Amino acid sequence: MLCQVDRAFIMSAMDFLDKLNPGQRKAVTAQDGPVLVVAGPGSGKTRVLTQRIVYLIANQGVRPWQILAVTFTNKAAKEMGERVKAIINEQAIEGMMIGTFHSICARILRRESEHLPLESNFVIFDSDDQQSLVKSIIREMNLNEKLYRASSVHAAISRAKNDLIFPDDYPINTYRDEVVKRVYTEYQKRLIASNAVDFDDILVYTARLLEENPVVRDKYAQRFRHVLVDEFQDTNLAQYALVKHLASHHKNIFCVGDPDQSIYAWRGADYRNIRRFEQDFPDAQTVLLEQNYRSRQNILDVAMGVIDRAQNRRKKRLFSDRGAGEKIFFYEARDDFGEASFVVDTIAQLVASGEFEPKDCAVMYRTNAMSRLIEEAFLQARLPYKLVGAQRFYGRREVKDVIAFLRLVHNPSDEAALGRVINIPPRGIGEKTLTTLHMVARQNNVSAGAILLDLARGAESPHYKSFTGRAAIPLSDFGGLLSNWIAYSKTETVPELFDRILRDVNYKEYIVDDNSEESLDRWENVQELKRLAMEYSTRTMDEFLENVALVADQDTITDSNAPTLLTLHAAKGLEYSVVFIVGLDDGMIPHSRSFDEPEQMEEERRLFYVGITRAKDRLYLLRAIQRGGRGMAEETYPSRFIDDIPSDLLVGKTRTGRSIRGAPLDTKWSLPSSGKPATVSSAQYKAGTRIRHAMWGEGIVLDSRMQDGDEIVDVVFESVGIKRLAASLANLQII
């Protein structure tokens, strides 16, 4: 039982409330019932969530085990837990559940496995495992792999799961839909046969369990008197259904989010869940958090200029007590090489001046492909950098190998793990032998792992004769190793088992075979994984494997003192003193895929807004007049979002050396004038006009408008799709 909270503690907690601003205090002390907190960037939403938990325990008498707090990353969950512990002693919050959607749902599923087609020791297939399984099904069905790529089919399956659509209910409108349904059906069968789930299943199984089993639903809904949800705008339909079910008894659901920061539609996130919340809970209290503690006011004003043009949004006005700060620097480079050089030179100057540390700086871009030239610029300058999102730690081959060994020990039915490590290091078990192993398993209606364990008995196994002598011996040897590891796992800790497996298979010798720098780096990755395993010396293998399976990119960012390179999507939730946003050309920001999709264009606007609001003190916006594409330079046009920024907030230079909107700024990075493009007096290209371009051939004009003394023409080319061109530069011929 929770000991009584003493008076001193209550007073201490209430003193802390005095430090909150009016909006934060209103949210923290809100009465029971549904509450929607619309929190602007940098408005202290984590603080609000933390203080809400403290307030419920200290002031409202809520028991810790009656509180469920859901976040999107392990990092956020850990931070929230530590903040609560800093105010309330650890014993006083025992039993409180704080975690990600996936970790909490995985915990529920293991407890309620009797209601599932799974055993409680199910494993979680990572992205590679999922892709591999879909690919094998496509091949077995003799489908055209070019027409039905595994990544595309799996994405369709994932979207269906996010929308709580199961194989039997998968809608068929085209032949492709029929094929996806067949693959989806078999995919789920294979997962169940492997006693495995994918990431989507963790949510879907839980949502379905709570929907269809009133006893289980009531058990958790009655337990969790208060349900708190972070980053509510990033939830998908399955996640929304989950929190609705979990809050169905007490109706105390506290959601914090910002629809202006909804940028993950491609992952299934649905910002309309905020509207669903307001419809499902019409009596909900709504609290706006508008005071920003992160950014200077000029940065916020730029952000508001961009986001205020968004459609169908709740208006809010961000303000800061940190002062106006410097104006935003806009730089228009001659080409993308110049853009990259400007970024590196400017960071070097800021660091040399002593104003900022390298780690204070971040370079953000729309797509990963844009990092190449920036990386090269850093390398040429011999300056270090951190790259986020490219070859994640948990995606590295050696890391996946070791995790697969541990997964196989934990669950010998894990086919993906078995297939990965059965011949690592090479032990003479080829594809033909592996195929035979699976065939024997199917004939005996057991897993391949079960056959392998039985083969550990050697010739005494009834399955031994199913293999040639050359194949049976290595299978028997590996089965013996697996059997020993399973036995060791009953008594040894995670790091002890980790070491034993690597020692038994001589894994270090396997990857450090040439003593090269690359191989040594790979072994260091294994050692880093070992350091993580050490944190689980007193915890279970279940917990360790769930952690490595569910970890996000942002959770693995290192603390080295170097500038960070990352996409705008990856920047969500982060902050930096100095932010560079590159690629502010139409077609890049916003991305060309959004031109004909109003919903996507709105998300592109929100994405730019998110990038802007990562900046604390300095913001640099960059574009290039020309970019390399298909081996040759292409003319670009400034992002339409730049026009939404108040003109008095920008300073900088174009390629011509003329100042942008603000006062002239003398800078060594200004490029020499190459002359202004010729002006055009009136529009000559009307919608529907057929034209010819020297590079892209024939096309049809979609739209045309005059801007800054030039005609801006949107053209759809059969060869390259839609392009936005300046008539004075494009040399278009009417045909």
Residues annotated as catalytic are 45-46, 230-231, 261, 614
Q: Distance of CA 25 to CAs 10, 37, 480, Å? A: 16, 11, 62
In angstroms, the CA 185 to CA 176 distance is: 14
Q: Does an H or E element contain 58, and which?
A: helix 45-58
End-to-end Cα, the chain, rounded Å: 84
In angstroms, the CA 213 to CA 122 distance is: 21
| CB neighbour list of residue 219: distance below 8 Å, 6 or more residues apart | none
Torsion, Cα of 114, 116, 118, 122 (10° steps):
-90
Q: Which residues of 527-538 are buried (b: 16+ CB within 10 A; e: fewer)?
A: eebeebbeebee
In angstroms, the CA 81 to CA 214 distance is: 30
DSSP class of residue 588?
B
For 283, half-sphere exposure in the C-beta direction (CA atoms, 13 angstrom radius) is: 8
Sequential DSSP letters for 459-513: GGSTTGGGS-HHHHHHHHHHHHHHHHHHHHHTTS-HHHHHHHHHHHTTHHHHHSS
Torsion, Cα of 366, 370, 375, 377 (10° steps):
-110
In angstroms, the CA 60 to CA 436 distance is: 63
β-pair partners for 253: 227
Q: What are phi and psi of 613, to 5 degrees?
A: -80, 5
In angstroms, the CA 457 to CA 465 distance is: 12
| CB neighbour list of residue 448: distance below 8 Å, 6 or more residues apart | 415, 418, 437, 438, 441
Q: Distance between alpha carbon 528 and the CA centroid of its chain, in Å? A: 22
Count CB atoms within 10 A of the CB of residue 328: 26
Q: Distance of CA 202 to CAs 124, 241, 647, Å? A: 8, 13, 48
Q: Distance between alpha carbon 268 and the CA centroid of its chain, in Å? A: 11
Q: Nearest CA to 547 among 2, 99, 120?
A: 99
Q: Distance of CA 271 to CAs 44, 49, 267, 275, 366, Å? A: 21, 20, 12, 8, 20
Beta strands in 81-178 (DSSP E): 97-100, 123-124
